[in-house]
Amino acid sequence: MSLRFEELDYCQTPIGALSLRRRWEFKLGVDVFEIKLGDEYLMSSLFTQSEIALARLALDGLAGDELNVVVGGLGLGFTANAVLQNLGVGSLIVVEALEAIIGWHARGLVPLGTVLTGDPRCRLVHGDFFALAASVEGFDSRTPGRRFRAILVDIDHSPGSLLDPRHASFYQTEGLQQLATKLCDGGVFGLWSNELPDDAFLARLRRVFAKARAEPVTFHNPLQDRPFTQTIYLAQK
């Protein structure tokens, strides 16, 4: 058994105090890694089913062996790792606004850190995903205007519950249209949400994309001993 609790890192960011913690969960007999912003939980290694499902559902059905993918939001790296487990993926750009989180991976402070940084297909980029989505240049500074087969986002709690109010325009029709220009024809946009499907957001997706749907992902919460449902939105250009 490891130490019961330790704070692995703490720093101030433009959107609040960011901390990385590791604690021993006695009930389950496992180490749990958690990211907090102030008093708010951003991610826990105890609940990763929907983050993994985001990658798997979005890439399912995309053909080819050189798929190029963008992930917005690094966190503990579970979505990015699930992308790299797809053998058809040729390159992955992970855009993370908080530089400290990239540093945690580079320093091996989180379990998947060295897995991601050691994969030559994966590039961790410090940047504002939402600003890049709205820009003409897009997500790859080395190849401005590059288009992608899949763009996956796990940053805000949901389209209506944001970490930063400046993200709001991304979830409106114009913001989604700007994102769509960064996708290849047939490309897929995937979005993680901590809440049940939002019909208004789904309607906006359907105005912009050829196809759109919401996939509930239900898993067992072992701490509360009950099922919990989150949502993956999927839209195809």
pLDDT tens-digit map of 78-115: 999 999 999 999 999 999 999 999 999 999 999 999 99
Predicted structure pTM score: 0.95
Question: 54 exposed, middle or buried (CB, 10 Å; 0-12, 13-18, 19+)?
Answer: buried
User: Would you state the pLDDT for residue 122?
Assistant: 98
Determine, yes or no, domain membership for 219.
yes
> Does any domain span residue 5?
no
Residue 61 in domain: yes
- The CA distances from residue 198 to 64, 180, 203, 204, 226, in Å, are 32, 20, 9, 10, 22
pLDDT in tens, 31-48: 999 999 998 889 999 999
Residue 117 lies in a domain: yes
The SS3 of residue 136 is coil
Q: Is residue 18 in some structural domain?
A: no
Residue 58 has pLDDT above 60, yes or no: yes
Q: Residue 207: which pLDDT band, with cuts at 50, 70 and 90? A: very high
Judge contact between 152 and 190, C-beta under 8 A: yes
Phi first, then psi: what are they for 49, rounded to 5°?
Answer: -60, -45
Contact criterion met (CB below 8 Å) for 164 and 40: no
The share of the chain scoring above pLDDT 90, in percent, equals: 89
Q: How confident is the model at residue 3 (pLDDT cuts 50, 70, 90)?
A: confident
Handedness of CA 34, 95, 190, 79 (dihedral sign): negative
pLDDT at residue 192 in the model: 98
Per-residue confidence band for 2, with pLDDT thresholds at 50, 70 and 90:
low
Secondary-structure breakdown of the chain: helix, strand, coil percentages, each rounded to the nearest 5: 25, 40, 35
Q: At 224, is the pLDDT very low, low, confident or very high (cuts 50, 70, 90)?
A: confident
Is 136 domain-assigned?
A: yes
Angle, CA 179 vertex, CA 12 and CA 141 arms, to 5°: 65
| Residue 1 scores a pLDDT above 70 | no
pLDDT at residue 26, as a whole number: 87
- Alpha-carbon distance values, 192 to 30, 54, 215 (Å): 25, 6, 10
Give me the CATH number covering residue 142: 3.40.50.150
Residues 49-67, mean pLDDT to the nearest whole number? 95
| Structure-token match 């999927």, residue found | 234
Domain residues for the domain of 225 are 47-236
Neighbour tally for 121: CB within 10 Å: 16
What's residue 51's pLDDT? 97
Extract the tokens encoding 75: 């966190």
Count: domains in the chain: 1
- Predicted confidence at residue 124, as pLDDT, reads 98
Query: Does residue 194 fall inside a structural domain?
Result: yes
- Report if residue 21 sits inside a domain: no
